[in-house]
Amino acid sequence: MTATNAYLKQIKGITFAGKTNSNHWITIDGPEDFGGSNAGIRPKELVLIALAGCTSSDVVSILQKKRVELDDYEVNISAEVSDEHPKVYTKINLEFVFYGDNINEKDVERAIELSETKYCSVSAMLNKSVEINHSYKIVKPEFAEV
C-alpha cells in the first residue's frame, strides 16, 4: 500500500499553506469576515477541483490512447450545498466540453464511463456520499469564410 503525506502550515488566522508528496504548495483561505485574508481557494472548493482534475486526467488520457485529437478541453463544475451544517455537497454536476473536429461521441462516452466507474479515485470516494452527474458537449470549430 502506498502512503501519501500532507503538510499544512498556518500563515495567519485561517490562511494556510499546504503541500503533499509532490512538494507543490497551495494557499487555502477563507473570507476576511471569518478570520481569513481572502487570499486563496476555500478548502471545500478544492474538492470540486480535485474531482474535475482526477476525472479529466483519466478522460484525456483515454482519448489520447484512442488517438482522439482535442483542440481544447474544459470542465464546468456546479454543485448544490445542503442548507444545514455541515454544509456538504449534495449534488455535483460535471459538464465536459471537448473542442475539435472528428471527435466521436462513443469515444467520449466510454472515456467518461471508465473514469467514473473504474479509474478516478476521487470520484470513487465522493460517490459514497454525494450524487455526481456527468454530461458533455462537443464543440466543432467554426470555419471562417474566405
pLDDT in tens, 55-89: 999 999 999 999 999 999 999 999 999 999 999 99
Label residues 105-127 b or e (16+ Cβ within 10 Å = b): eebbeebbeebbeebbebbeebe
pLDDT at 144 over 60: no
Residue with cell 470555419: 143
**Do strands 89-99 and 131-139 pair parallel, antiparallel, or not at all (unpaired)?**
parallel
In the chain, % of residues over pLDDT 70: 97
Do the beta carbons of residue 72 and residue 103 sit within 8 Å?
no
Q: For residue 111, give the H/E element and its range.
A: helix 105-114
For residues 145 and 120, the model is more confident at: 120
State the pLDDT at residue 50: 97
Segment 105-130, tens digit of pLDDT? 999 999 999 999 999 999 999 999 99
* Cβ–Cβ under 8 Å, residues 6 and 20: yes
Looking at residue 143, its pLDDT comes to 60
Q: What is the model's pTM?
A: 0.90
CA distances from 139 to 67, 78, 100, 101 (A): 18, 20, 6, 8
Under DSSP, the state recorded for 4 is -
Strand intervals (E) in the chain? 6-12, 15-20, 25-28, 72-81, 89-99, 131-139
Q: How confident is the model at residue 1 (pLDDT cuts 50, 70, 90)?
A: confident
Does pLDDT of 10 surpass 80? yes
Reduce the DSSP state of residue 127 to 3 states and report it.
coil
Q: What is the mean pLDDT of the chain?
A: 94
